[in-house]
Chains A and B, each alone.
Chain A
Amino acid sequence: GESVGLHLPTLSVQEGDNSIINCAYSNSASDYFIWYKQESGKGPQFIIDIRSNMDKRQGQRVTVLLNKTVKHLSLQIAATQPGDSAVYFCAENIGKAAGNKLTFGGGTRVLVKP
């Protein structure tokens, strides 16, 4: 769910290593999830999405895993590159009945070390 904080959790990763970013969501009725990447001064950029009837989805260098039992979502980035440095947000959607609005998590900052 939503979290408010003064400092974002930070993940430091060596260039070339894999990154795993975790997210706990709040609503068991959520049926659609998106990961966004936000670079400084820019808007959130769509990375990958997954529906609740799936537990894994792969894209280019990214994989999203969904565990509905514990309401947990993760984003795996393979062979992390300097351009992957950004803040990553998960977002959940509880469906059309709730207006399709996305509820964002608090974000994780990823810093890629050369």
Chain B
Amino acid sequence: NAGVMQNPRHLVRRRGQEARLRCSPMKGHSHVYWYRQLPEEGLKFMVYLQKENIIDESGMPKERFSAEFPKEGPSILRIQQVVRGDSAAYFCASSPQGAEEKLFFGSGTQLSVL
């Protein structure tokens, strides 16, 4: 059973470009969470999604950031018009129905904005 899969592992963008980060949850998991981590810090919650629904986006900036988890395919975290401050590691986690609080994390996408 494959774990949470994220791609790409590393993403380099210039200021003003768009970044798309993908996450495929573990098989059988219907809940997806996105977290952001700066060096030497803990993970900060961004958004919680179920299939086709955003449940909680309280940790996600209102501007430039969006997330989706379509009926088919991976969850996407999209950052438009990236700025240097967006450089960070972005982690996706998934959890199964009935044990939603037990999160399993992917290996993350390291976003570097030049």
Contact = CB atoms under 8 A, between A and B. Distances in A.
A3 B41 CA distance: 8
Interface residues of B, number: 27
A102 B108 contact: no
Given A2-B44, A3-B42, A44 B101 contact: no
Interface in B70-97: 91, 95
Interface residues of A, number: 30
A104 B43 contact: yes
Interface in A31-90: 32, 34, 36, 41-46, 49, 89
Given A46-B102, A49-B102, A96-B100, 4 more contacts: A5-B41, A32-B101, A102-B45, A107-B41
Interface of A: 2-8, 32, 34, 36, 41-46, 49, 89, 93, 95-96, 99-107
Interface of B: 4, 6, 31, 33, 35, 40-45, 48, 55-56, 58-59, 91, 95, 100-108
